[in-house]
Amino acid sequence: MTYEILLGLIVFSLVSSITPGPNNLMLMASGANFGFRRSIPHMLGVALGFTFMVLLVGIGLVQVFEAFPVTYTLLKVVSLVYLLYLAWKIANAAPAGGSEAESGAPLTFIQAALFQWVNPKAWTMALTAVSIYSPSQSLAAVAFVAAVFGAVNLPCISVWTSMGLQLQRVLTSPLRLRAFNLLMALLLIGSLYPVLGAQQ
């Protein structure tokens, strides 16, 4: 990989990781509702889950979708249902100050890692990264692309969790927190528009 291609990969990783999407919106809501420390498993699940996803996409998972198109349709349906469930969960989150039963909990490491498989933005990012920055699709090239994405992704998503944490200063009343959670849920649902709109 040349220096120019590496720089392009880093910039693509940065831009696609720092811009709004389902992961970042959920992490901002998690930071606002549960704080940074309790959101760390969620952040690690996103970063490592996505890195693993890029690796698997690069070594041939896309061929399964090409051989069995119904699996791609099934993935889209599952993605839609799961994102709607997560939006509901965000809209109904309670402040971190209550008991564990009242306040709920952020996504676990496993939940966040598995979410990558139904996240439309993650699929777009993984397919683009592998097809553009690892055209040979050798295991070494794909692993390198995945490692670069993982290294860039974690600091980017941490910014969103930190922004949510800073919002705790503003979200001092249950009404404000409820309004914020509803806004995050609506934005999460809105993030589906490019995917669903492209199908028409």
Delimit the domains of the chain by residue range. Answer: 38-79+96-170
Closest C-alpha to 46, from 189, 194, 187, 155: 155
Contacts of 181 (CB under 8 A, 6+ apart): 29, 33, 90, 91, 92, 93
pLDDT bin (cut points 50, 70, 90) of residue 200 is very low
pLDDT at 101: 39
Percent of the chain with pLDDT over 90: 42
Q: Which of 47-61, 81-95, 120-134, 168-182 has the lowest mean pLDDT?
A: 81-95
Percent of the chain with pLDDT over 70: 90
Q: Model confidence over 118-154: pLDDT tens digits?
A: 888 898 889 888 888 887 778 898 999 999 999 999 9
Model confidence at 100: pLDDT above 50: no
pLDDT at 96: 55
Q: Tell the residue number behind the tokens 């998972």, with chain if given.
A: 61
Average pLDDT over residues 92-99: 62
Average pLDDT over residues 49-73: 85
Classify residue 85 as exposed, middle or buried by CB count within 10 Å of its CB (0-12, 13-18, 19+). Answer: exposed
Closest C-alpha to 167, from 158, 176, 175: 176
Model confidence at 99: pLDDT above 50: no
End-to-end CA distance of the chain: 38
Q: Model confidence over 180-198: pLDDT tens digits?
A: 889 888 888 887 666 555 5
Model confidence at 81: pLDDT above 70: yes
- pTM for the model stands at 0.81
pLDDT at 198: 53
HSE on the CB side for 15, CA within 13 Å?
Answer: 8
Average pLDDT over residues 33-53: 96
pLDDT bin (cut points 50, 70, 90) of residue 84 is confident
